């Protein structure tokens, strides 16, 4: 509860700072709209040449792309401002400030700064999902929507864990910044994981779990998921958090501050 209050306070302060530069809001809206619009045109062109992509129809692919866009917005808003060029903070010994504050260091390190304008992208993603649902022409049961929201929350957790894990590598290899590689790998989530051949599909399911991040939630909304897959996703999310905590505690032992 304390962390939630802290998180709300950080978000409110960041929002106030962002609202001071209103032209940036307009710019972010235009940029996100144009990027999402051209990506949707790409999806339409692909489906003008085929009926299925990895077993997914047009409206399913649109819902998947919408889910991907929502998670991209969440990543941009809550995680990226904290971990972008993280290795420079390690090299400069600037982690001291999160270690001495009276709140969990992992929370402050990975969620202590927000960029609220990124939520524009998440809103656009939600609109795309709604459009995908309307394209299908079918009535979607409410329970599917609830399962989708649950899996979306799990996907947000997995996204946070994987992004922070990639950043934490610099605690062992300070010169290695994998931000660009993560950004590139993230792009694979905009299409269903069933589209990729092996061994890429295995990597995108278990190493960088794009399957759990976008494919599984979108599948839950379009066709529903089995209780087993829902349980496996929840367990995956829980295990991911545990792994992150272990890696952070282990990495912290290697950190030498700039001042002591």
Partner 1 sequence: MTRSLRLIGIYAHRTFLEWMTWRGFLVTLVLGQCVTPVLGFAVWSAALPDASNLSTYYISLLVVQLMTVFQLDHTLANPIYRGTLSHQLVRPHSPILGTLGTCFAERLWFVIIGAPVVGLLVFLSNVPLVVANVLLALPALALAMVVRFLFTLALALTAFWTQQAHGIVAFGATLTFLIGGSAVPILYFPDPLRSVAESSPFSAMLGLPAAIASGSLNRDQVVMGYAWQAVWLAVFLIVTVVVWRSGVRRFTAVGG
Which residues contact partner 1 (rule: CB under 8 A)?
Answer: 21, 23-24, 27-28, 31, 34-35, 38-39, 41-42, 45-46, 48-50, 53-54, 175-181, 183-185, 187-188, 191, 195-197, 200
Give the SS3 label for residue 253. coil
Q: At closest approach, how far in Å is the CB of 15 from partner 1?
A: 18
Q: At closest approach, how far in Å is the CB of 231 from partner 1?
A: 29
**Cβ atoms of 54 and 195 closer than 8 Å:** yes
Q: At closest approach, how far in Å is the CB of 106 from partner 1?
A: 24
Q: At closest approach, how far in Å is the CB of 248 from partner 1?
A: 22
* Cα–Cα dist 192/60, whole Å: 9
Q: At closest approach, how far in Å is the CB of 188 from partner 1?
A: 6
Which tokens go with 49? 């040449």
- Residue closer to partner 1 (CB basis): 86 or 148: 86
- Residue closer to partner 1 (CB basis): 82 or 233: 82
* Cα–Cα dist 13/19, whole Å: 10
- Residue closer to partner 1 (CB basis): 184 or 231: 184
- Residue closer to partner 1 (CB basis): 185 or 229: 185
**Cβ atoms of 60 and 222 closer than 8 Å:** yes
Q: At closest approach, how far in Å is the CB of 54 from partner 1?
A: 6
How many helices (H) and strands (E) in the chain? Answer: 14, 0
Q: Distance between alpha carbon 6 and the CA centroid of its chain, in Å?
A: 21
- Residue closer to partner 1 (CB basis): 115 or 158: 115
Q: Distance between alpha carbon 4 and the CA centroid of its chain, in Å?
A: 19
For residue 102, what is the DSSP state? S
- Residue closer to partner 1 (CB basis): 46 or 243: 46
Q: At closest approach, how far in Å is the CB of 162 from partner 1?
A: 16
**Cβ atoms of 247 and 164 closer than 8 Å:** no
* Cα–Cα dist 237/209, whole Å: 10
- Residue closer to partner 1 (CB basis): 178 or 232: 178
Which tokens go with 133? 């649902």
**Cβ atoms of 168 and 246 closer than 8 Å:** no
């Amino acid at each position: 509860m304390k962390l939630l209050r802290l998180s709300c306070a950080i978000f409110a302060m960041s929002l106030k700072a962002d609202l001071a530069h209103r032209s940036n809001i307009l710019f972010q809206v235009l940029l996100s709209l144009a990027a999402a619009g051209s990506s949707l045109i790409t999806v339409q062109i692909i489906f003008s040449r085929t009926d299925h992509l990895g077993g997914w129809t047009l409206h399913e692919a649109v819902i998947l792309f919408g889910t991907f866009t929502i998670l991209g917005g969440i990543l941009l808003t809550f995680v990226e401002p904290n971990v972008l060029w993280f290795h420079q903070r390690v090299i400069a010994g600037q982690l001291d400030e999160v270690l001495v504050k009276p709140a969990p260091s992992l929370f402050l390190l990975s969620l202590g700064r927000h960029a609220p304008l990124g939520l524009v992208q998440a809103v656009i993603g939600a609109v795309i999902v709604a459009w995908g649902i309307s394209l299908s022409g079918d009535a979607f049961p409410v329970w599917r929507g609830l399962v989708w929201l649950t899996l979306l929350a799990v996907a947000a957790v997995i996204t946070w864990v994987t992004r922070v894990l990639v950043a934490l590598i610099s605690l062992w290899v300070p010169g290695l910044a994998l931000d660009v590689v993560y950004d590139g790998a993230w792009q694979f989530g905009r299409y269903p994981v069933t589209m990729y051949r092996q061994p890429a599909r295995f990597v995108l399911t278990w190493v960088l779990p794009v399957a759990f991040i976008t494919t599984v939630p979108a599948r839950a909304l379009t066709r529903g998921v089995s209780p087993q897959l829902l349980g496996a996703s929840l367990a995956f999310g829980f295990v991911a958090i545990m792994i992150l905590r272990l890696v952070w505690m282990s990495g912290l032992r290697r950190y030498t501050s700039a001042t002591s």
